[in-house]
Amino acid sequence: MKASWSRICRRRGNESHTKTLEASHAVSCGILVVLGALVFAGDLFAADVATDFSAANRLYAEGKFSDAATAYGNMLQTGTRSPSLLFNAGNAEFKSGHLGMAITAYRQAEQLSPRDAELRANLAFVRNQVQGATVRESRWQSWIGTLSLNEWAMLATALFWLTFALLIARQLRPAIVPKLQSVTRLAVVLTVFSSIMVTLQAANHFSKSTAVVTASGATARSGPFDEAQNAFTMHDGAELSVLDRHGDWVQVADGSGKTGWLPVKQVEILPGA
Amino acid sequence: MLDKFCRIVILFFAACLLITSGRAAGFTASLDRDTITLGEQATLSLKFDGIQPQNAPALPAVAGLQFQYVGPSSSFSFINGQTSSSITYNYIVAPQRDGEFVVPGMRVDVNGQQFSSSSLKLTVSKANAPTAAAVNSGSEVAFLKFVSPKNKIYIGEPVVGRLDLYLRDDVQNFGNFQLTGAPAAGFSPGKIAELQSQRRRVQVGNRVYTIIPLAVPLTAVRTGPLTLGPFTASAVVVLPPQNEGGDPFFRQFFNQGEQKQVILATDPVNVESLPLPEQNKPENFTGAVGNYTMTATAGPTNVTVGDPITVRVQISGNGAFDGVTLPAQDAWREFKTYPPTTKLETSDQFGFQGTKTFEQIISPQNSDVHELPPLTFSFFNPDDGQYHTLTQAPVPLVVKAAGASPMPTIAANKNSTPENQPPQDILPIKENLGTLVTESSPLVAQPAFLAAQAVPVLAFLAAFVWRKRTDSLANNPRLRRQRAVAQLIASGMDDLKKYAAENKPDEFFAALFRLMQEQLGERLDCPASAITENVIDEHSVLRGAPKTTLDSLRELFQLCNQARYAPVRGTAELNSVAAKFEKTVGELQEVKA
């Protein structure tokens, strides 16, 4: 691969006749080599991840669900993310009896791939196994969730740029203004709508959090300390609204409106309601 | 000087050793007294004359006695040329019971020499409470008295006895109070605590005493006649010094008083422990003795079969909370119950008063359940000698069948599972890893993404400004002519330089004349063809122009006129004319039109 990059560089160098051109070609060659190295390194990394993924899948297939969950977890700890990886991690956690961890993985996968039907099915199935009051998203939130925050942002950006492209065309070619009138109006309306959706999604993402109980029989207390009175008990997998945080404690509310404080180590905090 | 001093010291000690080694060595053991009261301590001294063992000797074990090494003391005397030295190892001897004790003779080996001591006898007598006559006479510096709240108590009933320490009014201070014996067979004693707020002074006989009360929490664990005490204790009191001599002024500053150890004992107190009556004993009685109230809550009350309901029961009052347990509720047959958690919050220092909270998770097993059945708790109240049963009212419940809540719609399962049947398991894992995603913050939180949104806005603003300028130019013919002439002059200058370089004077001056007409026509807002040399003097606009500019214009017009008749000029002269024209045009363009 390096030889081919050198040939390209030599051929380009022979075509140049001035020192300036040679310098610019040298810079270009350098950039291409660096880009090539990055692509090559990326390929190697992807190959390693795929190998680990296959190994974890084999463990799952052999019924070693805990080992598979650990293997998927190790991959996730390296910063590797993919909807399939998180989906499989959720499956392995569920099969290991960890409803909370499974829901956490599914919800993280949902943020990357919100319209994955299999993912939604498994998330719904696991949620159905969870006992006790839990916070569920409203129909409106569910509808907004059909697109991820980034997808809403990209859609809004595309419409925003389209709208301004039309407005610029009106300035440059006043003659076509009548033809673009209806298209421009539609673009403006869609831009405003998508911007509102982005705002709502961003507000949900940044200002709200959900705590998924990962401990079996977690007991919420009336205050953020061990000696506080018991408020209520939750089961593994319960999804709770996060109201406040204080040190290693998080204040939560369950689906019935009861509030209490839980140690952070007993929950996984996810962005969004 | 230093060497000399060291030499003297070494010689001195060498002489001492020689003298000492010449004296007879010996080892003796002694007690400071051979009779003590239980609670007092004696001192055992092991004295070595003329010899010094490496370590303190180990003492033989004596049942009923405790030895505690205090430390060594040494003496050195030099009398009439006779030197003697000894080292004494001191031990505190604390008896654990009364009786006769013998500390056997000890053998020690010092530098290969064997030494032995004779055995010692120690008599420990029981501490007795002072007689009433002695108390009334005021001869007792301090004494103890135990007061039982009741003579008859029920098994399991918690009571708080009072141990009163009486200190005579001349006791300046007291300390090191130690309870050496608290016999309470058949009772479960709690932690003894001083009742600070109940200190008081009383007249006993002909002396005034200060009472320091100590609370002794007790719970009877056995029925039948029981005996409390005699409680024994020791304390150190500080009394006024016997020798009142000396200057009273100094005595008030240096009066340390005399310390005296006192051994205290109470009379035994008999108490009868009664069994709980069998008559009218409730079935669900679990041994709670005291006086209690109960509150209970349950929630949530609107649940599905199998959902957890938390039942919270608070039992408050006075009594032995160790015996307070939540009885099994037979009426909860329709519920699956889990072991309750308990939490005790006491409001007194003995743990006999407070609230015990039980939290129990239960889950209804069928949808026929409409209420949480009454919760009952029974206890025995020793004050009235009766059993009492507390009953909490039933809590209404709404229990839905497990299938009543709508199942989530699962799009993927519609094809894979039969209609109207919930999925039996999760869908299998994915074999393909898919696209890897780097972990990053959302786009809307990335500054580069937000900054990029300014691009279309800026482009639009640029287009808008361009449109405005274009429209403005289209509606201003004067401005348009000004720009056209400026462009014409720029290109005309190139022509002039070309004609000058090619030495074409006719074309040069023709072009020059035309350019001057165009520039002056634009400045004077009149047709270019109407411009002649005369406008320089006639037109008011040019009156504001500098005189040099006007002179240059006249000269240029005259050169153009002369060119029709004058002989051919050279390139250099044409170039200088072009430069002059360029300069003049520049000045002319600054004249306000």
Residue A103 and residue A127 in contact, taking contact as beta carbons nearer than 8 Å: yes
Read off the tokens for B511: 């072009």
Q: Can you give the pLDDT at residue B248? A: 57
What predicted TM-score, i.e. pTM, was given to this entire model? 0.42
Read off the tokens for B237: 């009191």
Give the Å distances, CA to CA, from A259 to A133, A179, A231, B192, B284.
Answer: 12, 58, 8, 41, 35
Q: Which amino acid is at B11?
A: L
> B310: nearest CA in chain A?
A232
Residue A180 and residue A167 in contact, taking contact as beta carbons nearer than 8 Å: no
d(CA B27, CA B42): 20
Read off the tokens for A166: 């039309």
Q: Can you give the pLDDT at residue A29? A: 61
Look at residue A73 and give its three-state secondary structure.
Answer: helix
Omega within 30 of 0 (cis) for the link into B230: yes
Task: Give the pLDDT band of residue A4 (cuts 50, 70, 90).
Answer: very low
What are the start-end ranges of the E strands in B393-520? 395-396, 398-400
* Helix orientation angle between A117-129 and A83-95, rounded to the nearest 10 degrees: 30
When the pLDDT of each residue in chain B is averaged and rounded to a whole number, the result is 81
B393-413: average pLDDT: 59
Residue B95 and residue B263 in contact, taking contact as beta carbons nearer than 8 Å: no
The residue with greater pLDDT, A205 or B21, is A205
With 70 as the cut, is the pLDDT of residue B24 above it?
no
pLDDT in tens, B332-363: 878 877 767 778 888 888 888 899 888 877 87
Partners of B344 in the β-ladder = B356
Omega within 30 of 0 (cis) for the link into B95: no
CB contact under 8 A, A128 and B422: yes
Task: Give the pLDDT band of residue B423 (cuts 50, 70, 90).
Answer: low
**Cα within 13 Å of Cα(B155), Cβ side:** 12
d(CA A221, CA B454): 49
For A125, residues 6+ apart whose C-beta sits below 8 A from its C-beta are B410, B423, B425, B426
Chosen for mutation from A49, A57, A125, A216 (greatest number of chain B CBs closer than 10 Å) is A125
Q: What secondary structure letter does DSSP report for B389?
A: E
> B301: nearest CA in chain A?
A256
Residues of A in contact with B464 (CB under 8 A): 171
Partner residue opposite B430 with nearest CB, options A84, A124, A229: A84
Partner residue opposite A122 with nearest CB, options B361, B426, B457: B426
Residue B407 and residue A126 in contact, taking contact as beta carbons nearer than 8 Å: no
pLDDT in tens, B44-73: 998 888 887 777 777 888 888 888 887 888
Q: Can you give the pLDDT at residue A3? A: 39
Partners of B67 in the β-ladder = B93
pLDDT in tens, B370-380: 888 888 889 99
Core vs surface per residue A19-35: b (16+ CB within 10 A) or e: eeeeeebeeebeeebee
d(CA B221, CA B154): 9
Give the Å distances, CA to CA, from B148 to A126, B164, B189, B272.
Answer: 64, 11, 13, 11
ipTM score above 0.90: no
d(CA B178, CA B236): 9
pLDDT in tens, A150-202: 899 999 999 999 999 999 998 988 888 888 889 999 999 999 999 999 998 88
Look at residue A208 and give its three-state secondary structure.
Answer: coil
